[in-house]
């Protein structure tokens, strides 16, 4: 059995989506693949080429679920921090499998070309791939198992809370459904939008703060701020500009979005400097993930360059701009 899930990039609305404002994201071709090989060992081994090797007896899966659920309640009650929820990345992987009804022993191999901690939804993609893999196993043993995408989205979002705390539905929605999606609160809708060839990404480096830490810091400072209304207006105007295919309006809204993200303190100064240079050259750019509250890196940066020479801009700024490649397929099972 093998399952695959795409990564994602947020086009507009990061952070503000946590406070009920709309957000728009697109699934991308970079993906996570999870493959299961059964063994009669009464234990489950997960070999992740990015995270490490983890092993747990299948009889201990439910105990781990209970422990992590208890810790999450303590986190919600502000008794522990987000960094104290998981002892290791393997905890989240095993938790996901248990929540998805996986009970088999054997080995799961996880491969990914999604950069971790860069705003591309690597955690949600891993969870989606594992959930889809577990779905297949559970469906074989239960004819009543419901495997539609809406249920998968719910499970991915539920499991992902252990990684990001009080996060939003945006990552779970993008990796589950694929294509361009819009999230408002818990409601997800697909947008009939195809992105043109003017979109690029720049990797500014792995942030020094995790998504969970950054979201928590923003909440502490800005939870009751009216800035989220400004984010809402920007995203709604951005959506209309995308549908109308108005490059000048798209440029304007990306620039506004970037300024708002700078105001809440999640854009490191070196990244902000490059964004200003891109604007000076006629383009627009913004971080497209949580960003960072410390250090010099902000993860992936979305860059929009309509009718501009990307090679000249790359050389001028000494950065590597990669074409954004959307994926119009969400999490799915694959055949070898």
> Which residues are CB-neighbours of 133 under 8 A, at least 6 positions away?
1, 2, 3, 34, 35, 36, 97, 102, 108, 333
Residues of 128-144 as b/e, b for ≥16 C-beta within 10 angstroms? bbbbbbbbbbbeeeeee
Q: Is 12 part of any domain? A: yes
The DSSP string of 167-205 is --SHHHHHHHH-SEEEEETTEEEE------TTEEEEE--
Residue 137 domain boundaries? 2-191
User: What is the chain's pLDDT, residue by residue, as a tens digit (336 residues)?
Assistant: 899 999 999 999 999 998 999 999 999 999 999 999 999 889 999 999 888 999 999 999 999 999 999 999 999 999 998 889 999 999 999 999 999 888 889 999 999 998 877 778 899 999 999 999 988 766 554 444 445 889 999 999 999 999 888 767 889 999 999 999 999 987 899 999 999 999 999 999 999 998 888 988 999 999 989 999 999 999 999 999 999 999 999 999 999 999 999 999 999 999 999 999 999 999 999 999 889 999 999 999 999 999 889 999 999 999 999 999 999 999 999 876
pTM of the predicted model as reported, rounded to 2 decimal places: 0.88
- The CATH number covering residue 130 comes to 3.30.230.10
Residues 185 and 203 in one domain: no
Separation CA 287–CA 15 (nearest Å): 11
- For the chain, what is the domain count? 2
Confirm if 5 and 32 have CB atoms less than 8 A apart. Answer: yes
Residue among 109, 127, 140, 135 at smallest CA distance from 44: 109
Residues 83 and 157 in one domain: yes
215 phi and psi angles, rounded to 5 deg: -60, -40
Strand partners, 201: 302, 322
Which of these three, 191, 210, 240, is where a domain ends? Answer: 191
Residues 54 and 141 in one domain: yes
Q: Is 332 part of any domain? A: no
Q: Is 159 part of any domain? A: yes
């Amino acid at each position: 059995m093998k399952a695959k899930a795409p990564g994602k990039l947020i086009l507009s609305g990061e952070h503000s989506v946590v406070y009920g404002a709309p957000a728009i994201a697109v699934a991308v071709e970079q993906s996570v693949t999870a493959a299961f090989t059964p063994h009669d060992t009464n234990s489950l081994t997960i070999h992740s080429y990015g995270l490490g090797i983890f092993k747990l007896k299948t009889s201990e899966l439910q105990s781990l679920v209970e422990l992590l659920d208890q810790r999450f309640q303590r986190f919600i009650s502000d008794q522990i921090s987000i960094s104290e929820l998981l002892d290791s990345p393997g905890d989240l992987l095993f938790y996901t499998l248990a929540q998805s009804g996986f009970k088999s022993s054997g080995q799961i191999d996880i491969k990914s070309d999604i950069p971790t901690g860069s705003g591309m939804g690597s955690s949600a993609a891993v969870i989606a791939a594992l959930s889809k893999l577990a779905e297949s196993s559970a469906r074989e043993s239960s004819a009543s198992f419901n495997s539609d995408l809406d249920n998968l989205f719910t499970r991915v979002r539920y499991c992902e809370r252990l990684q990001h705390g009080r996060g939003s539905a945006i990552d779970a929605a993008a990796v589950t459904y694929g294509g361009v999606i819009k999230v408002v609160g818990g409601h997800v809708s697909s947008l009939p939008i195809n992105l043109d060839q003017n979109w690029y990404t720049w990797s500014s480096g792995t942030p020094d703060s995790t998504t969970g830490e950054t979201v928590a810091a923003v909440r502490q400072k800005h939870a009751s701020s009216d800035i989220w209304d400004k984010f809402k207006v920007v995203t709604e105007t951005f959506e209309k500009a995308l549908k109308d295919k108005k490059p000048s309006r798209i440029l304007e809204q990306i620039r506004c979005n970037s300024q708002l993200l700078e105001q809440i303190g999640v854009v490191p100064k070196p990244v902000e400097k490059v964004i200003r240079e891109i604007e000076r050259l006629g383009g627009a750019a913004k971080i497209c993930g949580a960003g960072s509250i410390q250090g010099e890196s902000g993860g992936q940066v979305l860059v929009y360059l309509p009718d501009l020479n990307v090679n000249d801009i790359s050389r001028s700024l000494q950065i590597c701009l990669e074409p954004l490649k959307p994926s119009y397929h969400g999490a799915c099972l694959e055949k070898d």
